[in-house]
């Protein structure tokens, strides 16, 4: 689900349509329907499509149906990814060089999984006063970027 603030921005885009509700409780129901979107990109795409093809304001049930369908397509797309297995994130490794014994970073290099062993050996036998460490981090998978870009 997306944040209320993002949903409110998307709701504002609908405010110029015919039959847009003037009552706050009705507007709240539309906002809650928009919050069903799994990502900001999905919310923006569904609202953009609605504005492109309709002149009247949607009903909350219509928006929810559109969001549920798109959320399911998004979920299936992520599950098909061979890199992340559907999690949306992959693990990367970095060889980090620090100034002396401090934790101020002098240099950080992303290393491939095949270079990890070499980097760990280098880090265990530093040259000079600087020390090194191999760190792992999560990075957004390219499948999430493709889904967001198509949004």
What phi and psi, each to the nearest 5 degrees, are found at residue 114?
Answer: -75, -20
- In percent, how much of the chain has pLDDT > 90? 46
63 touches 46 (CB < 8 A): yes
> 40-44, 87-91, 106-110: which has the minimum mean pLDDT?
87-91
Which among 33, 41, 37, 36 is positioned nearest to 62, based on CA atoms? 33
Residue 136: strand pairing partners: 93
């Amino acid at each position: 689900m997306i944040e209320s603030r993002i949903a409110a921005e998307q709701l504002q885009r609908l405010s110029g349509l015919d039959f847009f509700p003037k009552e706050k409780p009705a507007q709240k129901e539309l906002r809650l329907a928009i919050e069903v979107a799994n990502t900001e990109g999905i919310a923006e795409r569904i609202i953009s499509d609605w504005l492109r093809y309709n002149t009247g304001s949607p009903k909350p049930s219509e928006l929810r149906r559109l969001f549920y369908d798109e959320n399911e397509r998004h979920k299936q797309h992520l599950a098909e990814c061979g890199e992340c297995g559907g999690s949306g994130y992959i693990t990367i490794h970095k060889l980090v060089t620090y100034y002396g014994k401090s934790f101020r970073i002098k240099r950080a290099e992303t290393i491939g999984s095949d270079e990890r062993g070499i980097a760990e050996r280098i880090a265990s036998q530093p040259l000079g006063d600087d020390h090194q460490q191999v760190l792992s981090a999560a990075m957004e998978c390219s499948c999430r970027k493709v889904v967001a870009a198509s949004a």
